[in-house]
Amino acid sequence: MAEEYPEEEFKIAKKEMDRLVYESLKGREVKPNVMFAKMSDLSRALGISKGMVKWSRVNSLWPMQFGLACCAIELMGFGSARIDAERKGYLLFRSTPRQSDVMLVAGWVTKSMVPEVKRLYEQMTEPRYVIAFGECATCGGPWFESYNIIRGIDQVLPVDVYVAGCPPKPENLFEAMIKLQEKISGKIED
Ligand code: SF4
């Protein structure tokens, strides 16, 4: 199911937006047609505020700089100028989970790494999303029957999008991010 956005959450967002606009205008001489004033007008309508919050979430995904095995090489390709992921709002890889909301699990996950991966996930900002990138993250890949590798990251974390391939291409990750955007915006469901 696509994630639900409780009305209360949007009310809090609207209140916070009003507070920020008020603070930004306080003590300054601002022409009535500047952007902040327009945002203030817009934020008075809860429906528009709700849409703005959702639009912002959809268009500012921040992946975590995090790789586990050979699939992580493809993440480097994803961050290259050829893919130019920023044009769609997939901003630069963040070096800390506290500034990230998308975990790209790229590579196999050993049982000894599970607590660390879970800890990183729990440190990410909410709402947070997971993409299982490649066969290993999806189902264990070539190590499907290994004694020390789990059969997919979905055994320990909720996965939003799966990407097939060994390894998948950076273009596949680009497509997965588009799918994630559609899921967040409610265009598609699980
Ligand atoms: S899916 Fe293939 S390329 Fe990716 S981590 Fe597993 S073995 Fe390596």
Does the residue 65 lie in any domain? Answer: no
Nearest CA among 97, 100, 138, 135 for reference residue 119: 97
What is residue 38's predicted lDDT score, i.e. its pLDDT? 55
64-89 residue pLDDT tens: 988 889 999 998 888 888 888 888 77
Residues 84 and 16 reside in one and the same domain: no
3-class SS string, 66-106: CCCCCCHHHHHHHCCCCCCHHHHCECCCECCHHHCCEEEEE
Residues 104 and 179 reside in one and the same domain: yes
Atom in ligand 1 nearest the alpha carbon of residue 142: 7
What is residue 1's predicted lDDT score, i.e. its pLDDT? 46
Give the predicted TM-score (pTM) of the model. 0.74
Q: Quote the domain boundaries for residue 97.
A: 72-185
Atom in ligand 1 nearest the alpha carbon of residue 135: 1
Considering only CA atoms, which residue is closest to atom 6 of ligand 1?
Answer: 136
Residue 4 DSSP code: P
What is residue 128's predicted lDDT score, i.e. its pLDDT? 93
Residues 89 and 165 reside in one and the same domain: yes
Residues 52 and 116 reside in one and the same domain: no
Does the residue 1 lie in any domain? Answer: no
123-136 residue pLDDT tens: 999 889 999 999 99
